[in-house]
Structure 1
Amino acid sequence: MYTIGGVSKTETQNQQIHSIPCKIGYTGPATVESNFIRSKVEGETTERGMFRGRGLEGADWKPPNNYQIVVVKERKGPKGTMLDIEAKADSIKVWEWDKSCGENANRTTIGRASTYLKIANALAN
């Protein structure tokens, strides 16, 4: 059983969250702006990037209505495992190296997976 523990709204506003298709041993905050080469292509909704020698394409993905994007961190609490909200965001910058992101990242894995949220919501209603 998980309990969600919140943090104050001011601590979680305007966070930038990236989903990069690679495995990295580090799981904490990173200075993406200084360690990840990115450029915006004029006239396109996607960005181009480079990470560990691989070319990447990134696009913003926004969750369906009535859903939020949060980053949680697990910790042991007095009543079991707790998930503390560490960050909130309006969108996730989703990066792909082997396929085009497309407009609003709908062609990415996370974009396609969110379709199941829409289907589940339709079936529940």
Structure 2
Amino acid sequence: MEEERGTTGIINLSQKDNEETVNISGQVHHLPCCIKLNGPCSVSQYFKPKPKGMEIDGLAVEEAHFRGRELQGTTISLPNGYSGFILGKNNSGKKKACDASEGSSNVWQMKAKFDKLTYWNHDSPPSKDDAFLRSFHWFAVAEALHKPVTAEDMAAASDALGKN
């Protein structure tokens, strides 16, 4: 039986000394559709979000139209300590001889970063119950799971178990 080989890769989030990090906060959109195009497009000419002048669940509602369909969305900040990154494949053409023996190798370079994004719904205004927004609850769960356990935590857990 032949063993399957995966793809190895490197993500480089550092910038070169002479380059500043491009911040595209407020320009990142999560649309409820699939766009089958990989290339330049004058999106800002057609996609023009504007405030709707209302708030739902503490979220400022925006509206836009995409291919004739109304979208309603809101701009949210990423949780403290988290950032979003736009990555591009670094095609420097320089590969080490040992990389070829380990399967395909990919090097990704940070092109821009963001700390805010706008997500959109087709047929409903944004709310705290949206699956996209609820997924952010996993940040707190992950933090709790990976937090180091202290001696005090162990003593408290032991005491709690002893009382039951």
TM-score (norm 2): 0.63
- Residue by residue over 1:87-114, the C-alpha shift from the partner in whole angstroms, topping out at 9 and shown as x without a partner, is 2112011111133213xxx444332222
Alignment of 1:95-106 (within 5 A): 95-102=120-127, 106=128
Unaligned runs of 5+ in 1: none
Aligned position for 2:67: 52
Alpha-carbon deviation of 1:11?
4.4
1:88 aligned to which of 113, 116, 122: 113
Contact 1:20 1:94 in 2 (8 A): yes
For structure 2, list consecutive stretches of 5 or more residues without a partner in the other structure.
1-7, 100-104, 148-164
Change (3 A) 1:81 1:70: same
Give 1:30 deviation, angstroms: 4.4
> Match of 1:10, SS?
coil
How many residues end up aligned between the 2 structures? Answer: 122
Which residue number in structure 1 is paired with residue 153 of structure 2? none
More strand by share: 1
Given that 1:64 and 1:118 are in contact with CA atoms closer than 8 Å, whether structure 2 keeps it comes out as: no
Pair member with larger Rg: 2
Alignment correspondent of 1:62 = 77
Distance (whole Å) between structure 2 residues aligned to residue 39 and residue 92 of structure 1: 15
Q: Deviations over 1:3-32 (max 9, x none)?
A: 112445624124511111111112445443
Q: Distance in 2 between matches of 1:89 and 1:119?
A: 23
Partner residue in 2 for 1:121: 143
1:17-75 CA deviation, whole Å, 9 max, x = no partner? 11111111124454432111422122431101110111101111222221101111235
User: Could you say what the CA RMSD is over the residues aligned between the two structures, in angstroms?
Assistant: 2.4
| 1:100/1:107 contact within 8 Å kept | no
Q: Which runs of 4+ in 1 moved over 4 A?
A: none
> TM (normalized to structure 1)?
0.79
The sequence identity of aligned pairs, in percent, is 25
